[in-house]
Amino acid sequence: MWKSIASNALTLFIVALVAAAGLLAWGREQFTGPGPLTEAICFRVEKGDSLSVVSRALEERGAVSDARIFRIGAEYSDKAARLKFGSYLVGAGASMATVLDDLTAGGQSTCGREVNFRIGVASAEVVLRELDAATNRYVEVVKFDPAAEAAPGAYVDVAEADDIRWRVTLAEGVTSWQVVDALKRADFLSGEIAAVPPEGSLSPDSYEVERGADRAELLAEMAARQTATMAELWATRAEGLPYDTPEQAMVMASIVEKETGIAEERKRVASVFINRIEQGMRLQTDPTVIYGITKGEGVLGRGLRQSELRRETPYNTYVIDGLPPTPIANPGRLSIEAALNPDKTDFLYFVADGSGGHVFAKTLAEHNENVAKWREIEAKAGTAEAGGVQD
């Protein structure tokens, strides 16, 4: 009898082990296998949320199939106490293991809202966007110019939220004064700015910051990036350029930046100015004259007068020979590259072509024909600004 009892007990024990192993395998498959979501969602973990609260919320949103298995997996992987608050993008079919990794990795939120303070040539604007989880694209919620209007309620209501991502973006061609003036109005930054950085020393780029970041430190990062870009490109510059220092190359890059916004044209535009220098011709470019008038403090807002084109200033390239003394803006990487590795052409002139680009010419006669065509386009459009290089 005892043998029978022992045999039955052993059988039950084995059955229990098999069942436990099967249950464990099933749980592991549930934890690591594809999740139930058919579309991505944004999931928010609040400050102080427990694993129990988070797991139930995930189950309610359909992100995990079983809150208990999610909790057991978190405990088993030693991540139960590592939840980080914020908003997270949970992709379609994401496994519990993937969701747990996302919610415990830390760093910036991967879903939710973003504020981008965009500093442009004509104005600055604050743009609040929210991620659409279904398309994984940001949708604009509100946009405003802090210099011209009060912050709208939609921005004020979320500006203190912990999961907001903050970004400052500099457009190519902005002046250092414009950057400083805009940063002073950025209410999410802190600290004073002692002086306007040298023209051309700031890198047009996108900078991710934290709320309360120091303005001076942000400017230092912008300057460091520009220095690194110039150092990298200066080392691979073409031979025979008509300038001997990175500072002179930056001046040329800034002129190229202000003359064209079309990436494919930059090296060709640079070749025109280099050809003119090499042939002893003046640069004759309007953006330098404008900088001599405004000192980079805002936009001129009108066409140049003949008296201004004749007035001698250090920046009037219709009057002076060679390059002006400093850059006239902060050029981007493509313009710096164009100044250091220009196209090899015989072009000496260019003028707007009416499509946003320019038409180039080797001779004055050809250029005059192009100018006449542009004047016709101007007359039809009712404008009065040709741009480009004249003689």
Q: Which two tokens stand for residue 314?
A: 């250090």
Give me the percent of the chain exceeding a pLDDT of 70: 88
* Homologous superfamily of the 28-104 domain (CATH): Endolytic murein transglycosylase (3.30.1490.480)
Contact 194, 216 (CB under 8 A): yes
- Size (the chain), residues: 391
Confidence class for position 345, pLDDT limits 50, 70, 90: very high
| Residues in Cβ contact with 310 at an 8 Å cutoff, skipping those fewer than 6 apart | 318, 319
279/368 Cα distance (integer angstroms): 19
Contact 126, 144 (CB under 8 A): yes
**Residues in a beta bridge with 169:** 118, 206
Picking from 64-78, 150-164, 188-202, which range would have the lowest pLDDT averaged per residue?
Answer: 150-164
155/160 Cα distance (integer angstroms): 9
**Domain residue spans of the chain:** 28-104, 113-223, 236-381
| Residues in Cβ contact with 26 at an 8 Å cutoff, skipping those fewer than 6 apart | none
pLDDT of residue 242: 93
Degrees (nearest 5) of the Cα angle 181, 184, 186?
Answer: 115
Contact 168, 117 (CB under 8 A): yes
pLDDT of residue 35: 82
Output the average pLDDT for the chain.
86
Strands (E), the chain: 41-45, 86-90, 113-119, 124-132, 137-144, 165-170, 206-209, 349-352, 358-361
Confidence class for position 76, pLDDT limits 50, 70, 90: confident
- pLDDT of 27 over the 90 cut: no
- pLDDT of 218 over the 50 cut: yes
- pLDDT of 81 over the 70 cut: yes
**160-206: pLDDT as tens digits:** 776 688 999 999 999 999 999 999 999 999 999 999 999 999 999 99
**Residues in a beta bridge with 116:** 127, 167
Confidence class for position 391, pLDDT limits 50, 70, 90: very low
Dihedral sign, CA of 152, 154, 158, 163? negative
| Residues in Cβ contact with 101 at an 8 Å cutoff, skipping those fewer than 6 apart | none
Helical H runs in 88-157?
96-104, 153-156
Q: Can you tell me the mean pLDDT for 23-37?
A: 71
| Residues in Cβ contact with 152 at an 8 Å cutoff, skipping those fewer than 6 apart | 142, 144
**286-344: pLDDT as tens digits:** 999 999 999 999 888 888 899 989 998 999 999 999 999 999 999 999 999 999 999 99
- pLDDT of 134 over the 80 cut: no
Tell me, what DSSP letter sits at residue 208?
E
